[in-house]
Amino acid sequence: MILRIDRLAIELPAPDHPSPNSASAVQELLGGKFGEMSTLMNYTFQSFNFRGRSQLKPFYDLIANIAAEEYGHIELVSHTINMLLTGSTTRGNDPSDTPLEHATDARQHYHFIASGQTALPIDSQGNPWNGTYVFSSGNLKLDLLHNFFLECGARANKIRVYEMVDDPVAKEMVGYLLVRGGTHIVAYAKALEALSGVDVGKLLPIPDISNKRFPEARKHEAKGLHQVMYRMSPNDYREISQIWRGPHPEDGSELRVVDGPPEGGPVPLHPEEPQLTSPIGPDGVDSGMLKDIAERLFGKETVRR
């Protein structure tokens, strides 16, 4: 089971301006083959499907715990997309003014038709995320090798989307995920080493570019964020510390486990887009409607907002 916290892993800055095609590019990091849906679901299923857990508990704990952090990553990417899309069409209440005209030439029509200018589990070309992206062979060494590769592939995608999108909200999000994804690469390298004795970490970085080249990642690494594995559970998954220990393969700094999630930042408020009838019709949420709702919720007599 999970408990959900109404916070994001970091605070996201306001975007410079609406940018639908950037939002489309960022979708690759959400619903692409190497997007956060994939990392989340791969580790989630591998944790469900773990055989021989009693004998190999540290490995189980590691995979299950990373899965939990990934949930926070689909969240972060989704809110970035939402912020890039907010305000990208003309707000108003007259549908015959063609308020969504700009959307017609945008790369991603689903953002304007299927959703209310918000994220979907699709990639940058509009293809849906799907379950063939999940690998769960049951052989531990093979699953760990897969995860190590998957994280490296995800890192390549993040770097390229970072290079495509010139907006602070996207750069901030990717910078953070490069660091956190980096810890997952190291974690799976350490796990492979524990299993086989091979120092796979020496292959890093893959691709051959350091996180230090990205200002928005560098600032987090300067604070040691790349050395931290969060234990995303009130009481469980404590044996991750048997794998997450020793020196970081890239800078030799000491790895450490932090109990509990990062402090994080607030979940952004996404304003109404009345021309998309989101969340309500073209005239927006007015106080009369709220009063009606409140009366239904609390009974007529008790409403006094």
Q: Which of 198, 224, 247, 256 binds its own copies (CB under 8 A)?
A: 198
Does the footprint of its own copies cover residue 151 (CB under 8 A)?
A: no
Q: Which of residues 263-292 bind its own copies (CB under 8 A)?
A: 264, 267, 269-273, 275-282, 284-285, 290, 292
Q: Which of 83, 165, 186, 187 binds its own copies (CB under 8 A)?
A: 165
Does the footprint of its own copies cover residue 161 (CB under 8 A)?
A: yes
Residue window 201-240: x/- pattern of binding to its own copies, with contact defined by CB under 8 A: -xx--xxxx---xxx----------------xxxxxx---
Distance CA 216, CA 234 (A): 30
Identify whether the C-beta of residue 224 lies closer than 8 Å to the C-beta of residue 253.
yes
C-alpha dihedral (61, 66, 72, 74), degrees to nearest 10: -130
Does the footprint of its own copies cover residue 91 (CB under 8 A)?
A: no
Greatest C-alpha distance within the chain: 71
From 179-187, 221-229, 250-258, 262-270, span contacting its own copies (CB under 8 A): 262-270
Does the footprint of its own copies cover residue 109 (CB under 8 A)?
A: yes
Does the footprint of its own copies cover residue 173 (CB under 8 A)?
A: no
Minimum distance from CB of 97 to its own copies (Å)? 8
Distance CA 284, CA 280 (A): 6
Does the footprint of its own copies cover residue 101 (CB under 8 A)?
A: yes
Q: Which residues contact 296 (CB under 8 A, 6 or more apart)?
A: none
Minimum distance from CB of 195 to its own copies (Å)? 6
33 to 19, 119, 146: CA distances (angstroms):
23, 16, 13
In terms of DSSP bridges, do strands 256-259 and 228-231 run parallel, antiparallel, or are they unpaired? parallel
> Tokens for 250?
């890239």
Does the footprint of its own copies cover residue 196 (CB under 8 A)?
A: yes
Distance CA 122, CA 124 (A): 7
From 118-126, 180-188, 219-227, 250-258, span contacting its own copies (CB under 8 A): 118-126
